[in-house]
Amino acid sequence: MFNQPNLKDSNSNSPKTPKPQRFQPRVLYIYLLILGVLIALFFANPNSGLSVKNLTISELIEKVESGEIRAWEGTMKPNASYGREGYSISGVFRPDSGTSELTGSEVLDEGVRFYAQGRLTEDDFLLLRDYFNERQSSTLLQDVLVSFLPFILIVSLLYFLFVRQLKSAGRGAMSFGKSKAKMLTRDKDSINFKDVAGCDEAKEEVSEVVDFLKDPKKFKKIGGKIPKGVLMVGPPGTGKTLLAKAVAGEADVPFFSISGSDFVEMFVGVGAARVRDMFEQGRKNAPCIVFIDEIDAVGRQRGAGLGGGNDEREQTLNSLLVEMDGFEGHEGVIIIAATNRPDVLDNALLRPGRFDRQVTIDLPDLNGRHEILKVHAKKIVLSEAVDLETVARNTPGFSGADLANLLNEGALIAARNDKKVVEIQDLDEARDKISYGRERRKLMDEEDRKITAYHEAGHAIVQAVVDDGTLPVYKVTIIPRGQSLGSTMFMPKKDILNHSKRRLLNQICCGMGGRCAEEIIFDDITSGASGDIKMVTKTARHMVCDWGMTELGPVALGENKDHVFLGQEIQRSQNYSESTAIQIDNKIHEIVSEQHQRALDILKDNRNALEVCAQALLEHETIEGKHVYEILEHGEIRSPILTLTSTGDTADGNEALADSEESGERSEGEDETLSSDEPPVGAPA
C-alpha cells in the first residue's frame, strides 16, 4: 500500500484549480422558462386548438335577433384594422339541430363557437353591446408584443442553444490556446519517494529540487540556483512517470501535469499558445512544478526528417525554448520532463539553462528489482515460502512495470486455481507467460514432438558442457509457448554487464546445439533452428564489427545507420572498403562454423546423454536443469520430476519453432550489450 502523508494542513493556502463546470443549472432554468411561456401563450388564447365558425357581421346580427346568441357569454373589442368602428366579436350560439351541418370539434356540448370581425353601425353597436362584454382596445405596443413575442422567444431559445454554448465552449472548442495542464490536488491518494524503488540515484537528483522548493535559502546562501529543468530518460516501464508523481507527493507546491501530445492540435499556432498559457499558469502559482510526459512529441529535432521540418511542431518547440530560457524568465517554475527517446530531442532543448539535469532511469539491477518487488508485493497475498530475492535474481532485464505485471499475473493464476495465497509455482508460471506467452496445448504428432525434444535436448546438453557456472540450465520443456514449440531456459547467477570472448563463443555453440542434434539423430535439418541461426549470426557480427574480438583488430566496423524517425536525417554510411566487407563476412562465417563443429563434437561425445534427455522430455514434457546435469554425470535422472517447479528465469530461452517460425535464444545480460534494438532479457522473444 502507498503511504499517504497528510498534506491538508501543510498547504491549506495553496491555490487550487477550480473544476470546470460542464453543466450550468441556470441555463436549464432559462430553457424551462421559455418553454413555459410558449405553453402559456398557446393556452391563453381561448380559441387555441378549437375549430371556430367564422361569421360575417350581418350573419351575427341575424343570430342575435333570432335569439341564438347567449347573452354575456361573448366578448367584443375594438379592431384597429377596420378603423375606429371596427370590432372583433367572439362567443357561442345555439345551432339549429335540424339544419346544422357542423360536426366534430366545432359543436360543443351547448353550442358552437364563432368569431366575427368588421365595421359596426351605431345601431348594430347598440344592439350587440347588450349581448357581449365590451373590452378596451389594446395599444399598438401591446399588439406588437403579442405579434412578435413568439418570434422573440424562438430567437432567444436559439441564442441560448447555440451562441451561449459556443461561449461556454470558449474554455474548450473556441479557446484552443488554453493549456490542458492539470493540477494535482493533495486531497487524493498521493505517492511519495517511499513508493518508488529501484532508482535511488534518480530519486536523489529530483529530491534536490524538492529540497530547494521547501528551503530555497539553504541553497541561495552559497550562490546556488535552482535547476530550471530536469529531463528523465529511460526505457519504457522504468518508473519515470511514477517518480514524477512522487515528486508531486513530496513537494509542498502546486504540481501541473501535461502530456506532450496535449500541445498538438489541428489548428496552426495552438501548440505555441498552449505553451505560453501553461507557463502563465505556472507563474501565477510559483513556485510550482510542471511535468511534461513524453516530451519527444513536441521536442523533436527541428528541420530534420522527410520533407524538412513541421512548422506547427517547430513553433511549439520554439515557444517552449523561449519560455524556458528567454528574456522573460520563469522564476519559480521548474520543468520536469520524461522521454524514452532522448536521441531525437533538439539540442537547444537539452542545453544547460533549459534542462540543466538529465536523469537516467535504467532497468533495475538485482537490488533494485528486489526493492520493486517488495513495494508491489504489499498488495499481494504471498505464501511464506516465496523468496522475493530469488524472484529478483531470476528476472534480469525486467523493468518495474514488468515486475508489477509479474506479481499481478501470479495472483491471477493463483485465483484461477482457487488458491488462497500466491505460491512460487504461480510466479514461475507467470514469468514464463510474460516472457514467452501462455502455454498452448497444441496438438503435435509424434514426429514433431520427437524433433522438438531432440532439438531442445541438444541445446541443454551443449550448454551444460560448455558453461562455466555463470549461466546454468534451469528448465527444458517441449510445451509450446507463444509461437515456440519448445524452450531451453537458463538461470543466471548474477547480472551480466559485460561479455567475454569465451562466453560469447559458448553462447554461439549452445545456439547451434539444436541444429547439430537434428543432424546427428535424424540425418536431416529443419526450419526450427531459424531463430538460432539469426541469433548466433548477430552475435558473431558484433564480435567482428563492434567488439574487435577477431584478427581484424580493435577497429569499429559497424557504422551503418538507418534512422526512420523524423527526428533524425535518413542516412546510411559505410566506413570500410569492399575488401574489408569480404573479410568481415569470412570471419563471421568462420566463427559460426567453428562453433557448429564444436557443438557437433560435444553431442557426439555425449550421444547417450542426448538420447536420455530427449526421452525424458518426450515422457514428462518438462525437466529441470538439475536433471540435465544428472544425465551427464550418471547417465540417468535420479531426482523426482515435478510438474511445477520453483521460479527461474526464462532468460536464455532457446525456442525451437516448426513451420518456419523463428526461435529466439536469449542469454542473461546478452541483450543489454548486443543490440539496443533487442528486447530486454526476460521479455518475449
Active site residues: 456
Give CA–CA dist 531/486, Å, rounded.
12
Alpha-carbon distance of 399 to 374, in angstroms, equals 14
C-alpha to C-alpha distance for 453 and 469, rounded to whole angstroms: 24
If we measure between CA atoms, which residue out of 2, 326, 354 comes closest to residue 191?
A: 2
Strands annotated E in 406-483: 473-477
Q: What is the CA radius of gyration of the chain?
A: 42
From the CB of residue 123, how many other CB atoms can be counted at a distance below 10 Å? Answer: 9
Of the chain, the end-to-end C-alpha distance in Å amounts to 33
Pairing of strands 182-184, 86-93: unpaired
Segment (H or E) for 319: helix 311-324
Q: How far apart are CA 484 and CA 462, in angstroms?
A: 20
Spatial neighbors of 632 by CB under 8 A, at least 6 apart, are 461, 464, 465, 606, 609
For 472-614, strand residue ranges (E) read: 473-477, 486-490
> 296: which residues sit within 8 A by CB, 6+ positions away?
260, 339, 340, 341, 342, 344, 345, 567
C-alpha 594/C-alpha 508 separation (Å) is: 10
- CA dist 362 and 233 (Å) reads 8
Measured on CA atoms in the order 308, 314, 315, 321, is the torsion positive or negative?
negative
Between CA 600 and CA 513 the distance in angstroms is 7
Alpha helices, H only, 423-471: 424-436, 446-466
The grid cell for 41 is 401563450
DSSP state of 340: S
Neighbours of 73 (CB within 10 A): 15
| 3-state secondary structure at position 133 | strand
Helix (H, G, I), strand (E, B) or coil at 363: coil
How do strand 357-360 and strand 229-233 relate by DSSP bridges?
A: parallel
**Cβ partners under 8 Å of residue 475, min gap 6:** 487, 488, 489, 622, 623, 624, 625, 645, 648, 650
Give the single-character DSSP code of 261: G
Q: Which residue has the cell 493549456?
A: 179
Alpha-carbon distance of 434 to 429, in angstroms, equals 9
Within a 10 A sphere around the Cβ of 680, how many other Cβ atoms? 18
What is the residue whose three cell numbers read 347573452? 71
CB 518 within 8 A of CB 598: no
As a whole number of angstroms, the distance between CA 679 and CA 650 comes to 13
* 599 in Cβ contact with 516 (< 8 Å): yes
3-state DSSP assignment of residue 430? helix
